[in-house]
Amino acid sequence: MKKWGRRFAIFLAIVLLILLIGPFLIPVPPLEGTLPPQTLADEQSQFITIPYPGTDGLEIHYWDAGDGPRHFLLLHGFASNVYTWDEVFGYFASQGRAVAYDRIPFGLSERPLPSDWQAQNPYTREATVDFAIELLDELGIDRAIVVGNSAGGLLAMQLALEHPERVEGLILAAPAVLSGNGSPPLAQALANTPQLKRIGPLFARLIGQIEFAGDLTDVQIEKAFIGTRIQNWDKALWEFTAATSQLDLSDQFDQITQPTLVITGDADNFVPPGESIQLAGELPNAELAVLPNCGHIPQQECETEFLQAVEDWLATLPGK
């Protein structure tokens, strides 16, 4: 028994040594063919530097179009970007002023690394809310209807809770609210170890290439992955993943009293339609639209039905 005990102790020591040292021996080849964000911009692209404590400011890529008393702020989901609003942005701009932006570290916005900041991590949920408000301030927008897809829907609800005076209403498309948002505490702790910090970019390269199942064209898919052509996108994505904690807002649903439209596709295989239906039932002032034969990105997969639901809902708001 003593012999087996010593062998087991040696085995554990070897495993521990591999876990502690092994990641530092794995090669992390540099990214190839990356480009400055401005070289990938289109005719709608604008860039603005948003102040952030402990930095020289962070550059944000955004679209801004339309004019009128009603404002819309469009928030994309995880690993997405402004191009997810390509098919519907013109409609929102026709209804007032529409702004869509790439949340860091996605799309063509800046990708800060730990050496770039000296204060709060800009990838935390708190910082993400602050960025949205700072952008509205910089653009002179006091109040907006916040439109969010997937993880953008969760951020939209955070804005409604933390800054209710800035949110006129909510449009939540397949919102990732009840489950599937953020990293569990244990995963976060592991992601921030020196070992995973070292090889994290390799995992991020896998995450960044995941295609959410949906009925998207080749052009839409190419635009969805535009951010993977920017320098350090893998390192920044790992920093974001490591900093983004899970968030449960269920005990605050009754505080979100703004008019809300929840849109779900009945073929959504990422956020089950039942979760969106449940969310609409628990929010005090929400309407629900279930789109047939539609997946997780309704504004692209079935934009006609999506816009019809939005138009019908907007017609119910005061001032229309």
* Active site members: 150, 268, 296
Question: Nearest CA to 136 among 119, 159, 114, 116?
Answer: 159
Alpha helix segments (H runs only) across the chain: 2-25, 89-94, 125-138, 151-162, 185-191, 194-207, 218-224, 233-243, 273-282, 298-301, 303-314
Both tokens of residue 140?
């002179």
**Rounded-to-integer distance, Cα 47 and Cα 29, Å:** 30
Calculate ∠ Cα 258-166-122, nearest 5°: 115
Both tokens of residue 278?
């449940």
Both tokens of residue 244?
């983004």
Which amino acid, one-letter code, is at 129? Answer: V
Calculate ∠ Cα 183-123-50, nearest 5°: 160
Both tokens of residue 258?
């703004």
